Chain A
Amino acid sequence: MPRKRFEPTILAFTCNWCSYGGADLAGISRIQHPPNAKVIRLMCSGRIDPIMVIEAFKDGADGVMVTGCHPGDCHYATGNYRTQVRFDALKIALKSMGLHPDRLKLLWASASEGQQWADGITTMTETIRLLGPNPLKEGGVQK
């Protein structure tokens, strides 16, 4: 019997224009990657309210990815610069929640970067697998 392994739950926020397209392209190109990430599509990565990320961890997500257009390529001109600022703040917040900062990852991927998307998901899954389950979930914080 094969050894059981930890399959992390990862949430990937995408924007509608770049990273969602990149994820689509990975599909169209059949670039295989682990099935652990589930996509939540928003119009722009600038829509990602820090509360959404914190809520995801509180509810037991093992990892969260914030993804969007490359800086300068935002469909909405400057949205992703805000994302970057919020991401940096979230990294600090994560520590105070007792979570390893690597559980949160930022990935810029354009609609033509299917390979980059698949690689990003693969490394994130490996990272979280090593970090183990979200301690908040184990600690019974989960409602």
Chain B
Amino acid sequence: MSSSDIRIGVFVCNCGLNIAGTVDCESVAKYASKLPDVVHAVDLLFACSDDGQDNIKRAIREKELNRVIVASCTPRTHEPVFRACVEEAGLNRYLYDQVNLREHCSWVHMDEKDLATMKAEELVAMAVERVRYLEPLERQSVDVIKSAAVIGGGVAGISAALDLANAGFETHLIESRPTIGGQMALLDKVFPQNDCAICILGPIMSKVGQHPNINLLTYSELDSVDGYVGNFRLTVRKKSRYIDTEKCNGCGDCEKACPVNVTNQYEFGMATRKAAYRPFPQAVPNKYTIDKRGISPCRIACPAHVNVQAFVALLKEEQFEEALQIYRKNSPFAGTLGRVCTNPCQTECERGKYDEPVSIKALHRFLADFERTHNKKPILPIEPDKKKAKKPIAIVGAGPAGLACAYDLVRDGYSVTVFESRKEAGGLLRWGIPEYRLPRDVLRDEIDIIQQLGVTIQTGVRVESLEELKSQGYKAIFVATGAPSSRLMKIDGENAKDVHHALEFLDRVNSGKKVNVGNRVVVVGGGNAAIDAARTAQRLGAKRVTIVYRRSREEMPAIPSEVDEAGHEGIKFEFLATPVKIATSGNVISEIKCIRMRLGSPDESGRRKPIPIPGSEFKIGGDTAIIAVGQEVTPDSLVSGLEPTMYGTLEVDPVTLQTNVKGVFGGGDVVSGGATAIEAIATGKEAAKSIDRYLRGVDLTEGRDEILIPIEDIEVDNALKMRYAPAMPTLSLPKRKTTFGEVELGLREAVALEEAGRCLNCAVCCECEKCVDACTLDAIDHSLQDEIIELNVGTIIVATGFKVHDPVETREFGYKTFDNVITNAQLERLTNAAGPTQGKIKRPSDHTTPKRVAFVQCVGSRDRRVDQDYCCYIGCENSLKQAIQIKEKYPQTEVTIYAMDIRTHGLGYEGLYRRAREKGVIVVKGRPSEIEEIPSTKSLVVLAEDLYTGERLETTTDLVVLATALLPNDDIPELARKLKVSTGEYGYLMEAHPKLRPVDSFQDGVFLAGAVLGPMDIPKAVAYGKGAAAGAQALMAPGKFFVEPIYAEIDTSLCMDCDLCVDVCPYGAPTGRGTERRVMFELCQGCGTCAASCPKNAINMRHYRTEQILPQIMAAARAKGGIV
């Protein structure tokens, strides 16, 4: 089309005074009329009115216009209107362009009228340059799938889903909680009639559950959204309830059996619930859910993965036997490790982040001790598995690793023999740890369990070679011979007579041999062996014991409580020092020469490296030295035929623990060179797994990893009260000087119960599987997995609701600090017959009925300090409703409402206010400045100013109720991103137009309903739900939807197949190669990123072609501007 054929019409809208009040529209039209190819330019009072549109249509026909520009308001709302208008006049709707004179000019440059007019002219000139290059386009239509997804099962979502389903559309209702009903289901009464909320909602909820057109997906979350209007593809994660909903009949037996109590969010923290729970009796569907969040940090931290949370939860419920059984699923050493474990579980305990970790070690010790003192039940031998028993297993070494391996294998049905060279089983637990820490009978009894289960332990038998075992018919061997020798310091004088090495020293004492120590003992080292040696020396009669350690106390690897106790017993410490020479006179120690150290930068162990300070030598007087600087594997620990590593330890595969000989495995200290008992046990258990796989002929590695999924974010009540761990009772100091009696005495029952109560139940479900035993329908399966469901729908309605402001973050008005300050949501549960108090209003501190109640309005609402300066819409009515309820139940109770204003909008709500006043509710205009607690009565003093009288009020009240703000849900930004919809100023989802398109989003096919748009009351939420359903139906009913023909095109003659467009396109629209390359318009969303990326300019965007944009740029850049 040549330039002379272009006939442009420009229509400048006055928009009443909205534009004309600032911009001289007449002059803009006049200016436009002089622009090239403009054949018609006028200004109109209201271009979008019928008159205005008629004027445009007439001009198109009369002036034979083939391009139209309307300079009016934002195209985001009015472009479709004018496009339809020009189409009606016979012009292609894409030969139209709109200039935004209102939002972008007149409304924002009100004080600069001349410049605004000039800008308006320039904007029109830009459009004239662009419109000339526009080309007619045909709209594409897409098929619409006649099915909808509603996200959110609150009252808005329920209303939308029912309307859609009743109209015959297949509807998927996706709800993240285990039940539908949303916030309304938790209310007691609904204003203004004060109807019972669940009584009116319950029947509708069950209708949803039974509707043939509704696919109800509860406990499900939206993972991702793909596709476009008419054909969205949703991926929904149906979270596992760990209960087969087909079998569950909602009887609640699992709930009764469950030992885990957590804060009940459905009671707003006013009560607790179990990990196996149903939110409320009217839940739809009426099924139970097991709330499982992952594996607790303690269980992950434990090398043997003892299910800590489960035994702590059962202990708290006083089910001591069951708790011990949970521990013993892992190893028999509840009492032994309860004394000597280094408890890595406690280091990771979540509670430790708040006050102190739970004393896990002391708790399993308590369980073991309780069994020892109370009717111990005999352990029954395991019935061997016929097939497995044919393949006997030999274990060399009866230390913790060997015993743990035997324990697991015998319970698996194998026949196991343990060979021990010493005269008693136990390894370093028996020979290395002094009796005052681990009484022999405790260890012996726990080793007995293994024997009672059917393991044969042959003591006093040294295994020399593998062949010897193989010839006896053993099919698999586990070598766990330990690292029984002390490492040498390699300093002068180490060979003197009274120099001992810790392990040998302890071994001799523990064997009952006579060991003489002098009066002044110097122990070198900072590990548990050093502390054990020092305390043992003291008990053997040493007068003065000094521990010399080269780092500082913080870096000591010994258990801190052991170091503390050593200090209490009078043992001296010489930190940051190391011996350089043991001086002797005639093979008798005279003194120990040391040097001071300082700490340098951290070494590979993460601890700071000690560096000697030159010239800082000093002497410690002593007659006995005990060296405790580590342990070593001796060559005779390795059974012949096995390969050592360069460190002398046994070489094994890090995963399978198999040695260089097939079917022979290794673990414990002989592999690690010296580690803790629990680590040794972990390797024993791992070896048991390998041996089982080996003997069954299964691959040793495949599918072996036990995946322990940590909890993503641990929910902790933000008002957690500080409670510290109990001190361990100990033996008196004088007794410790002379005897080897046990030092730590264990927790008393009451203390243990209280301590177990400090567990935060991080993982919620602890997997104790009590529910599995309790369920008579066999409905519970802890191995169930989340299900991923794909949905294909034409429209989506988002109705995910709101959240209630939690004033604890600002500690406003003493919430969660003062017991008797609650929120209106909490009061709602107190007035509810199904709530924690059966509908009786009792204040939390003493469960008495309050005689005086004060409501504080607008907590977090209309509050600029927290960027929440909007009205919560329901707070006034809700407090009036609750005030009336209190007055109805307890007419004598005095009720005061402190409010900035009382806002009772619309029909019926003013009556609520009147009723409250008639019942004697006092309304004070003015927000309280402060609330103070009277410590003796826990009553509260409300300080406020009455704004009408200016009087300062100071009123004592029994209960304060905070009317808290409504806030957008935390997941809104993520949801908005998935659905490609916008969020507004306060974080709620944003409608396409605040007045005219309140349920539409900017994304075609996505509708919004309920409080996801902002605070609203129930009738409004229902109306929005029904409105969104109507919008969705209108879109789906014709079966076709017109989409913008704006998509990319490729000129294959220019394309050089660089594939850059494929890389940048998020939708995978570019396809093919060479001459076949094209953009699939069904997938293309029209962003144009590919066009801007193409190095050959081979890609162009329809309606946003470079040749359409560049003239517009030129017109703008060359504008008059300059010095004015």
Contact = CB atoms under 8 A, between A and B. Distances in A.
B5 interface: no
A61 B1087 contact: no
A48 B14 CA distance: 32
Contacts of B118: 35
A32 B116 CA distance: 11
A42 B1104 contact: yes
A132 to B, nearest CB: 10
Contacts of B1093: 82
B982 A17 contact: yes
B167 to A, nearest CB: 30
Contacts of B1114: 55, 59
A89 B102 CA distance: 35
Contacts of B116: 35
Contact of B990 (A23, A34, A111): A111
Interface stretch (B105-113, B366-374, B386-394, B668-676): B105-113
Contacts of A78: 1064, 1066, 1089
B983 interface: yes
B235 to A, nearest CB: 16
A38 B123 contact: yes
B653 interface: no
Nearest to B120: A35
Interface stretch (B182-190, B285-293, B395-403, B1116-1124): B1116-1124
Given A27-B104, A60-B1117, A76-B1089, A7 B1046 contact: no
Interface string B60-79: 00000000000000111000
Contact of B115 (A7, A23, A30): A7
Given A9-B1117, A24-B74, A61-B1116, A44 B123 contact: no
Interface string B985-1010: 10000100000000000100000000
Nearest to B1086: A43
Contacts of A26: 103, 108
Contact of A9 (B1091, B1106, B1112, B1116): B1116
A55 B1089 contact: no
A82 B1064 contact: yes
Nearest to A60: B1117
Contact of A47 (B105, B983, B1002, B1092): B1092
A60 to B, nearest CB: 5
A125 to B, nearest CB: 11
Given A9-B1119, A59-B1114, A42 B1109 contact: yes
B1109 A52 contact: yes
B982 A112 contact: yes
A81 to B, nearest CB: 9
Interface residues of A, number: 61
A124 interface: no
B100 interface: yes
A1 interface: no
A110 B982 contact: yes
B504 to A, nearest CB: 64
B1117 A59 contact: yes
Given A7-B115, A20-B76, A111-B990, A40 B1106 contact: no
A61 B1117 contact: yes
Contacts of A112: 982-985, 990
A48 to B, nearest CB: 6
Given A17-B1002, A56-B1116, A46 B982 contact: no
A47 B74 CA distance: 21
Contacts of A49: 1091-1092, 1106
A46 B1089 contact: yes
A39 interface: yes
Interface string A61-94: 1100000000011011111001000100000000
Nearest to A7: B1124
Contacts of A86: 1092
Nearest to A115: B985
Contacts of A38: 119, 122-123, 126, 1116, 1119
Contacts, number: 172
B1085 interface: yes
A76 to B, nearest CB: 4
A142 interface: yes
A73 B1124 contact: no
Interface in B1053-1109: 1064, 1066, 1085-1089, 1091-1093, 1101, 1104, 1106, 1109
A27 B102 contact: yes
Nearest to A133: B1122
A99 interface: no
B17 interface: no
B76 A24 contact: yes
**Highest count of chain A CB atoms <10 Å: which of B103, B119, B126, B1091:** B103
Given A6-B1123, A35-B112, A39-B104, A55 B1110 contact: yes
Contacts of A82: 1064, 1089, 1092-1093
A4 B361 CA distance: 82
A59 B119 contact: no
A34 B984 CA distance: 25
A108 B1101 CA distance: 23
A97 to B, nearest CB: 14
A11 interface: yes
Contacts of B1116: 9, 11, 38, 40, 56, 61
B1046 A43 contact: yes
A63 to B, nearest CB: 10
A6 B983 CA distance: 38
Contact of B1113 (A44, A50, A55): A55
B983 A110 contact: yes
A130 interface: no
A33 B111 CA distance: 10
A41 interface: yes
Nearest to A49: B1092
Nearest to B1094: A49
B1092 A4 contact: no
Contacts of B976: 73
A104 interface: no
A8 B1124 CA distance: 10
Contacts of A142: 1118
A81 B977 CA distance: 15
Given A30-B110, A32-B111, A47 B1089 contact: yes
Contact of A43 (B108, B982, B1088): B1088
Given A30-B108, A76-B1066, A6 B1122 contact: yes
Contacts of B109: 32-35
A46 B103 contact: no
A130 B1071 CA distance: 49
Interface string A101-129: 00000000011100000100000000000
Contacts of B107: 27-28, 30
Top-5 shortest CB links A-B: A27-B103, A47-B1088, A46-B1089, A59-B1117, A44-B1087
Given A27-B107, A38-B126, A38-B1116, 11 more contacts: A5-B1124, A24-B74, A28-B103, A30-B108, A38-B123, A40-B126, A44-B1088, A52-B1113, A59-B1117, A61-B1117, A111-B982
5 contacts: A11-B1113, A32-B108, A43-B1086, A47-B1087, A59-B1118
